[in-house]
Amino acid sequence: MKVVVKLTGKLFDLGNVDILKSYCGIFRERFLRGYRFVIVCGGGSTARHYISMARRLGVNESWSDLLGINISRINALLLNALLGDITYNYIPRNVDEVLTAWSSGKVVTLGGLQPGQSTNAVAMIIAELVGADLVVNATDVDGVYDKDPKKYSDAKLLPRVTINELKNLISSRSEAGTYELFDQLALSIAERSRIKIYFVNGFKPENIEKVLDGINVGTEVIYT
Amino acid sequence: MKVVVKLTGKLFDLGNVDILKSYCGIFRERFLRGYRFVIVCGGGSTARHYISMARRLGVNESWSDLLGINISRINALLLNALLGDITYNYIPRNVDEVLTAWSSGKVVTLGGLQPGQSTNAVAMIIAELVGADLVVNATDVDGVYDKDPKKYSDAKLLPRVTINELKNLISSRSEAGTYELFDQLALSIAERSRIKIYFVNGFKPENIEKVLDGINVGTEVIYT
Amino acid sequence: MKVVVKLTGKLFDLGNVDILKSYCGIFRERFLRGYRFVIVCGGGSTARHYISMARRLGVNESWSDLLGINISRINALLLNALLGDITYNYIPRNVDEVLTAWSSGKVVTLGGLQPGQSTNAVAMIIAELVGADLVVNATDVDGVYDKDPKKYSDAKLLPRVTINELKNLISSRSEAGTYELFDQLALSIAERSRIKIYFVNGFKPENIEKVLDGINVGTEVIYT
Amino acid sequence: MKVVVKLTGKLFDLGNVDILKSYCGIFRERFLRGYRFVIVCGGGSTARHYISMARRLGVNESWSDLLGINISRINALLLNALLGDITYNYIPRNVDEVLTAWSSGKVVTLGGLQPGQSTNAVAMIIAELVGADLVVNATDVDGVYDKDPKKYSDAKLLPRVTINELKNLISSRSEAGTYELFDQLALSIAERSRIKIYFVNGFKPENIEKVLDGINVGTEVIYT
Amino acid sequence: MKVVVKLTGKLFDLGNVDILKSYCGIFRERFLRGYRFVIVCGGGSTARHYISMARRLGVNESWSDLLGINISRINALLLNALLGDITYNYIPRNVDEVLTAWSSGKVVTLGGLQPGQSTNAVAMIIAELVGADLVVNATDVDGVYDKDPKKYSDAKLLPRVTINELKNLISSRSEAGTYELFDQLALSIAERSRIKIYFVNGFKPENIEKVLDGINVGTEVIYT
Amino acid sequence: MKVVVKLTGKLFDLGNVDILKSYCGIFRERFLRGYRFVIVCGGGSTARHYISMARRLGVNESWSDLLGINISRINALLLNALLGDITYNYIPRNVDEVLTAWSSGKVVTLGGLQPGQSTNAVAMIIAELVGADLVVNATDVDGVYDKDPKKYSDAKLLPRVTINELKNLISSRSEAGTYELFDQLALSIAERSRIKIYFVNGFKPENIEKVLDGINVGTEVIYT
């Protein structure tokens, strides 16, 4: 089974040492059972720190994106260091390098690839390229809600969402560092590839296990 | 003056030998006067040939995209061969390589970069990265119309279009090889960077000269 | 058993979808039985299209070669897409990259490498580098003839040919895109390495199976 | 005049926006007057954040170094973004890439290169490779003191120090992120190359101007 | 078991054909039993030839180092050619490439990486990066002596040496091509990583077998 | 004026320090006057040393070639070190890298590129790619003779030779390290590109000056 996991950069922010360790245990154990993983890491608060510093210095959006992308790669490198010999020990920086890494048969960890696209979009593109069976988007909320759960206390978690509903829920903002859940590019790849996607709370590593074992958790994206 | 030119892949299709030669003359002459160019080439009919062959073989969208991208790079290579010593003699394959090429001070020619995005989006991303003053999108129609000019004989060419109008006119289809004019990613980069954009008929090389000289031609995109 | 297969570019021309699929089936099945393959693809009619366009534009032979080489790489990419996870997912562009790809233990697909040499020569160089047991040159005729079978209807297929006879039969023309069967470089590598070579009709994928199974087909090259 | 500048990573920590802007102004102005710069950036507090996180996760020293090195490269990227077209728009990751970047004739910005060596050592190696006339080590104190100025309030700034005195003053600790001023490798390169070195307070960009103009500031290293 | 072997460049000097063959036999046999090897080759007399030629031409130390490093890579390439399909068929030139090579699961052979550091230091850095269990330093004497065995006939071989004793025995000279046994950088990596190290006579390949089998030979480095 | 110079590897063998210095003076002085140079270095006696060692170890021809090629690159590196800032500070290893190096506007130095072809062939391929006006083949004899001057004392130097005469004079041997003057590939590139070629005695650097100044020396190749 080929799985692309998107980990929110926030997991690398606050010294979530134990959560990262749990993830490594899960990835290692599943890898040895034959699962193949690509893990795409977000940038988190360090990325936001550099992006905001860049903006105050008058740096444009693409270059700010580049800074954020490079921080997400360092998160990927930290994860890589933790996973040890089951990973491909290099963080790919473009699509060619991702495919080369994938050819090694090892776990691939990466961050962003290109200005103007979120690491969510990266996860979808890579998923399509490697023919993934499943994308797990481990984010900082419990899944997809009918409204923004950070603003509305009565937001309701949706166990299932159609790709069209998802589209309507997602704004198309593309400032560096402000992408939420998914962006337009991620959506359009999802639409055309129809790869199974789950949004789960990334702060509970056991959620990944649940998804892999077919247990309902978070939000599943439905293609109609 | 830093200019990104997007050339429709159709220019490389039909043996438009004289048109390509005219472009080379223009780029060469302006380069020697101090203009800096990045030229992004589309894939054209050869790209479509490979993509359709790939589809018949059951190849997925991302890999079909990769085939099309590689054809667009060959178009860029042909242009590079024609331009000779004023170009950077390598076709960049990712953002890092584009920036390295740009650092050479020479004309940079490239094709696509990544599955899931059109060469129009590539042109906008590069324009933002290098701080271009202007993007000229040399396409196969005279500019932006109020309706699809290939379907409606009464379609009217718009001398000016706001970015929001452009958004409404553009569909969000993302199948390999079917992008038209602009895609969502190109639009969102345009919006955030507010770089001057012209759509002109690429089969008339003199249009580029006109845009560079501030003469009205085709369609200008307006930011409000 | 380590095998280098040279596929004529013509297989990628006419939408020979079923033939390509048959090849993939054969490569996949043999790979799983322990065979190791390097597959070198020719450029075919798309290469010739670009080369002739380049010539009309006054591009020199080396750059025309580069265009043809890049088309042969796209053929290799298409094959790569078809073969999926048993291949190294990158098309090597030089000898270093070929060896790196080979180190992966996967099927390697590539096109040309350098101006001035045919993909036949590439096949021989790679065969020597990886210590191949066998080269199968899948061409567009049934093997080596005593005269050009496309000109003479009474040309006779030779089941065996010595390397010296082959030399005499082969012209030393080196214009881009006009190489036939073998070139001087291919010959000289063959001579020094004495690797087993078969020329077979590439439009019948079962010929490869026959050669691998030791059944006589096409023309075998004999070293005396 | 060829100058290698080492900037303490602390300049990138606290949002020292105005200091960074001043540096850019200086580098730009001098570059246009014919000065050639390589600017080596330290990792600063973000590097220390990742290194300490890595240690808590049980990551070894070399991999912790790699994390710190990658942060220093992001600092170099931020500076690169600020400097714009006068820089080589890629952060070199090894000696080959540094030399390629240098060949462009532009300002080169980089961070660390390899585990086990400080960015001070990187500055000295690069200085020797490019034949620099001068290394300016812009650190977080006013220069070299007879004792650690952060521990002893009566530490005395030394306007001149011999390379042997410097050796005695410098500890040989090599834990990731704890290098001070110079390390053994930096010292041994200094000794063999005898390149002019100044230690100055990096929080006062005007110090660089002074050194370039031959005005005494900070500490000069003397070879005897 | 992960082992880094440092082979003195002198093994490649005098046509020590049989010794090299013995090494290959050992590496091959152990590799098939599950041992993982990184083999770092020194430069030897050819390196010294180029370095001395460079000095007579006025080339500086860093560039002389680069020449010596490149010769050590050719020694690594020769070894690679001998080891055949059990090696990664590319000589890594920097830390990123070493890690990529290591990810292949094959034997990795390399030479030097960077001016200013010996291949002994390279061996230690790589050992730490890949988490090696053991470093075997196959040199041109029987191990570590209390005095220089080439100058003093009464020098005594030490079966064990503490890292601090080793430090005192080692000079800190860093001219290209004159490194002995270990340099400062190698020492500091040893100290922080506490990896098991043996110094043995490299002209007796059986010494490596002994070390791998836990039989006392040469000098063991002790951490206190 | 664009010139490709092929320097025999023998110039790097015997400590021909003064000859190399003379060459550097000439290249530097002409470069500053606007000449553009690519300098292709042969492998010489060190290459032959490694190749013969490889053969005794049973290494095949392609890998022996690789060893020789890498030695020729070290010769190119030594020359690069001597030429300093007027060169592109990296030795290209394939055609893509040669073109990138050429784009820098600096002097490019390189050695071999690929097994199975001599550095003479490399010189011709590069000459065609960069559109050189002239190739100077600086060899170890005074030019082309009617018989092998090393065997026959009455061999006569030919001031002019047609490409067909040259063909007849040249054997087609292709064992690693035994190429003489020119090989088949070099010849076929010469034939198709019709680039002006001179063979001169490379031990007299002034010969290059003469050729550049249009003074007759050595042997000129004539296309009929």
CA diameter of chain B: 49
- For residue range C44-74, list pLDDT tens digits in order: 999 999 999 999 999 999 999 999 999 999 9
Shortest distance between the Cα of E127 and any Cα of chain A, in A, equals 13
The pLDDT of residue F175 is above 70: no
E contact test, residue of C100, C108, C128 with most E CBs within 10 A: C100
Q: CA-CA distance, E121 to E188, in Å (whole number)?
A: 9
pLDDT of residue A157: 95
Kindly report the average pLDDT of chain E as a whole number: 92
Kindly list the residues from chain A whose CB atom is less than 8 angstroms away from the CB atom of residue B94: 93-96, 113-114
- List the single residue in C with minimal CA-CA distance to E106: C103
Q: Which of A84, A85, A90 sits opposite E100 (nearest CB)?
A: A90
Per-residue pLDDT of E189-214, as tens digits, reads 999 999 999 999 999 999 999 999 99
* Count of D-E CB contacts under 8 Å: 95
The pLDDT assigned to B14 comes to: 66
Q: Is pLDDT at B173 greater than 50 in this prediction?
A: no
**pLDDT above 80 for B65:** yes
Instruction: Give the residue among C179, C203, C166, C64 at the shortest CA–CA distance from C122.
Output: C179
E13 vs A127, residue with greater confidence: A127
Summarised one tens digit per residue, pLDDT across range E110-123 is 999 999 999 999 99
Instruction: Enter the tokens of residue F222.
Output: 């004539």
For position F146, what pLDDT does the model report?
87
- For residue E180, the model assigns a pLDDT of 63
Is the pLDDT score of A178 beyond 60?
Answer: no
User: Which residues does B25 contact at the CB level (< 8 Å), separation at least 6?
Assistant: none
Residue C126 confidence (pLDDT): 98
Subunits in contact with chain B (3 or more CB pairs closer than 8 Å): A, C, D, F
pLDDT band, residue A182 (cuts 50/70/90): confident
Chain E hits for F50, CB-CB cut-off 8 Å, are: 74, 78
Contact F103 B88 (CB under 8 A): yes
Q: Which of E185, E187, E193, E195 to mutate to test the interface with D (most CBs of D within 10 A)?
A: E185
Residue of A nearest to C106 (CA): A103
Q: Is F176 helix (H, G, I), strand (E, B) or coil?
A: coil
- Cα F193 to Cα A85, D94, E190, F189, distances in angstroms: 52, 38, 58, 6
Q: How many CB atoms lie within 10 A of CB A34?
A: 7
Give the SS3 label for residue A169.
helix
Interface with B, mutate which of F38, F96, F103, F125 (most B CBs under 10 A): F103
Q: How far apart are CA B178 and CA B187, in angstroms?
A: 16
- What ranges make up the beta strands (E) of chain C? 2-7, 36-41, 108-110, 134-139, 160-162, 196-201, 219-222
Which residues in chain D are closer than 8 Å to B128, comparing Cβ atoms?
A: none
Test mutation, A122, A168, A178, A188, chain B, max B CBs within 10 A: A188
Which one of A80, A89, A96, A102 would you mutate to disrupt binding with E, by most E Cβ within 10 Å of its Cβ? A89
Q: Mean pLDDT throughout B33-45? A: 97
Mean pLDDT throughout B177-206? 87
Cα–Cα distance, A91 to C29 (Å, whole number): 32
Identify the weakest region by mean pLDDT among B149-153, D176-180, E165-169, F162-166.
Answer: D176-180
| CA closest to B104 among chain D residues | D104
Chain A: residue whose CA lies nearest to D79: A54
What's phi and psi for B110, nearest 5 deg? -150, 170
* Structure tokens that stand for E215 in this block: 């039989």
Inter-chain touch B129–A115, beta carbons under 8 Å: yes
Chain C: closest CA distance from residue F88 (Å): 21
Range in A174-183, C186-195, E55-64, F202-211 the model is least confident about = A174-183
Using DSSP, state whether A80 is helix, strand or coil: helix
**What are the chain A neighbours of B192 within 8 Å (beta carbons)?**
61, 174-175
Q: Which residues of D touch F (CB under 8 A)?
A: 96, 99-100, 102-104, 131
**How many beta-carbon pairs below 8 A join chains A and C?**
16
pLDDT at residue C175, as a whole number: 44
Of F96, F103, F131, Cβ closest to residue B104? F103
Find chain A residues with C-beta within 8 A of B174's C-beta: 188-189, 191-192
Q: Using an 8 Å Cβ cutoff, are D63 and A81 in contact? A: yes
Instruction: Please give the residue of chain B at the shortest CA–CA distance from C63.
Output: B81
Label residue E172 by pLDDT band (50, 70, 90): very low
Task: With residue D2 as reference, give the H or E element that holds it.
Answer: strand D2-7
Subunits next to A (3 or more Cβ pairs <8 Å) are B, C, D, E
List chain E residues with CB under 8 Å of A88: 100, 103
What's residue D171's pLDDT?
56
Complex prediction ipTM:
0.93
Read off the pLDDT of residues C114-164 as tens digits, 9 standing for 90 and up: 999 999 999 999 999 999 999 999 999 999 998 878 788 898 999 999 999
pLDDT digit string, tens, across residues F26-81: 999 999 999 999 999 999 999 999 999 999 999 999 999 999 999 999 999 999 99
Mutate: best of E31, E77, E83, E90, partner C, most C CBs <10 A: E90
Contact flag F53-E77 (C-beta cutoff 8 Å):
no
CB–CB contact D89 B100 (8 Å)? yes
pLDDT of residue C172: 39
Q: How close, in Å, is residue B176 to chain F by CA atoms?
A: 28
Comparing alpha-carbon positions, the chain B residue that sits nearest to F106 is B104
pLDDT digits (tens, 9 = 90+) for D187-209: 999 999 999 999 999 999 999 99
Chain A residue numbers touching C106 (CB-CB < 8 A) = 103
**How close, in Å, is residue E61 to chain D by CA atoms?**
7
In this complex, whether A and F touch, counting 3 or more CB pairs under 8 angstroms, is no
pLDDT at D14: 66
CA separation for the pair E207, E216 (Å, rounded): 9
Chains in contact with E, where contact means 3 or more Cβ–Cβ distances below 8 Å, are A, C, D, F
The verdict on a CB contact (< 8 Å) between B192 and A175 is: yes
In this prediction, residue B208 carries a pLDDT of 98
Q: Residue F180 has what pLDDT? A: 64
Helical packing angle, C61-83 and C44-56, nearest 10°: 160
Whether the pLDDT of residue C26 is over 70: the answer is yes
- Which 8-state DSSP code applies to residue E182? -
> Of F194, C64, A184, whose CA–CA distance to B171 is shortest?
A184
In angstroms, what separates the C-alpha of E105 from chain A's closest C-alpha? 9
Percent of chain D past pLDDT 90, that is, above it, reads 83
pLDDT band of residue D26 (cuts 50, 70, 90) is: very high
In this predicted structure, the answer to whether residue A10 has a pLDDT above a threshold of 80 is yes
Question: CA B53 to CA B56: how far, in whole Å?
Answer: 5
pLDDT at B174 over 80: no
User: Is there a contact between D70 and A74 if contact means CB atoms under 8 Å apart?
Assistant: yes
Confidence of residue A172 (pLDDT cuts 50, 70, 90): very low
Q: Kindly determine whether residue F81 and residue E70, on different chains, have CB atoms separated by under 8 Å.
A: no
Query: How much of chain B is helix, strand and coil, in % rounded to 5?
Result: 45, 15, 35
How does the average pLDDT of chain A come out, rounded?
92
Quick check: E89 and C102 CB within 8 A?
Answer: yes
Chains D and C touch (3+ CB pairs under 8 A): no
What mean pLDDT do residues A109-123 have?
Answer: 96
Region B195-210 average pLDDT:
97
Pairing type for strands A219-222 and C2-7 reads unpaired
Q: Is pLDDT above 70 for F179?
A: no
Most confident of B19-28, E163-172, F142-151, F176-185: B19-28
Cβ <8 Å between D96 and F84 = no
Q: Which residues from F are below 8 Å from C when comparing CB atoms?
A: 60-63, 66, 93-96, 113-117, 121, 124-125, 128-129, 131, 172, 174-175, 184-185, 188-189, 191-193
- What is the C-alpha separation between E125 and E120, in angstroms, rounded? 9
> What pLDDT score does D152 carry?
84
Q: Which residues of C touch E88 (CB under 8 A)?
A: 100, 103
A173 has a pLDDT exceeding 90: no
Are F102 and B89 in contact (CB < 8 Å)? yes
Q: How many C-beta atoms lie closer than 10 Å to residue E25's C-beta?
A: 12
Q: Do B89 and F104 touch (CB under 8 A)?
A: no
Please state the rounded mean pLDDT for residues A53-60.
94
Q: Do D17 and A66 touch (CB under 8 A)?
A: no
